[in-house]
Amino acid sequence: MTLGAQLFTLREYTQTEKDLDYSLMRVAKMGYKTVQISAIGPIAPERVRELCDKHGLQIVLTHTDPNRIMNDTEAVIKEHDVMGCDYIGIGMMPKKYCSPEWLWHFADDYREAAKRIAAAGKLLMYHNHNVEFQKFNGTLVMDTLLESFAPDELGFTLDTYWVHMGGADVCAWMEKLSGRIPCIHLKDMAVRGWEPVMAPVGEGNLDFDKIIKTAEKCVTKHLLVEQDTCVGSPFDCLETSFRNLQGKF
């Protein structure tokens, strides 16, 4: 497995080529070897690849506009070819599908794009939050997604924090999705007062020794550290996570 940084963590510092160049330099110096491209500024894929290559970072996953994935599939595939990236990610289910009346349309709308992405040797990836652990008509949204696509049509970027936030068992879901979670987001949960908060990996209460051992069993390829909200510098948070993960796999 590789250890990478989800650039959504640094989204305020990746909106221009200059800032992206600097941020990638910092990420590489921490020791990360891979990155996920997410929420960066309007920078051409060719230039993104050049900057990542410059700092010895491999692009392994993106979060891409769901509308473009569905309606401009071939262009999205070509952009990922340029970046050398095999995993094309949906970062969040578009809001209109998050209801019992419309959930079934998600598979109906995205299956053709998923098949075209698979035919190009890539995989459409779905990133969960906690909303997927609600039940519509007695069935978890996650189960509906799992059953609606073949394994070669849809993979899952399982997010440790959001699974736990949804009241589910992280490792149990990793095992359930074994073979379909080539990428996992590592994100810890701590408590401040009465509220759960995101924390650097190893600074909260999730059992990452068990999570990493389970990931190894589940044929996961890429672990990506992400922290949506940070207390203090997001660079410091990424570095703390990297330090706490050293030697665990």
What SS3 string covers 49-80?
Answer: HHHHHHCCCEEEEEECCHHHHHHCHHHHHHHH
Q: How far is CA 55 from CA 1, 33, 80, 210, in A?
A: 20, 9, 19, 31
* Percent composition of the chain: helix, strand, coil (DSSP 3-state, to 5): 45, 20, 35
Residue 36: strand, helix, or coil: strand
Q: Which residues of 149-160 are buried (b: 16+ CB within 10 A; e: fewer)?
A: beeebbbbbbbb
Question: Which pLDDT does position 86 carry in this prediction?
Answer: 98
Question: Which pLDDT does position 19 carry in this prediction?
Answer: 98
Which helix (H) or strand (E) covers residue 164, if one does?
helix 160-165
For residue 23, the 8-state DSSP code is H
d(CA 227, CA 187): 6
Question: Which pLDDT does position 12 carry in this prediction?
Answer: 98
Spans of the chain, pLDDT less than 70? none
Question: Which pLDDT does position 227 carry in this prediction?
Answer: 98
d(CA 120, CA 115): 9
Q: What tokens appear for 179 in the block?
A: 């073979």
Question: Which pLDDT does position 109 carry in this prediction?
Answer: 98
Question: Which pLDDT does position 194 carry in this prediction?
Answer: 97
- The vertex-220 CA angle with 164 and 217, nearest 5°, equals 85
Q: How many CB atoms lie within 10 A of CB 239?
A: 20
Are the CB atoms for 39 and 70 separated by under 8 Å? no
Return the bridge partners of 157, or none: 127, 183
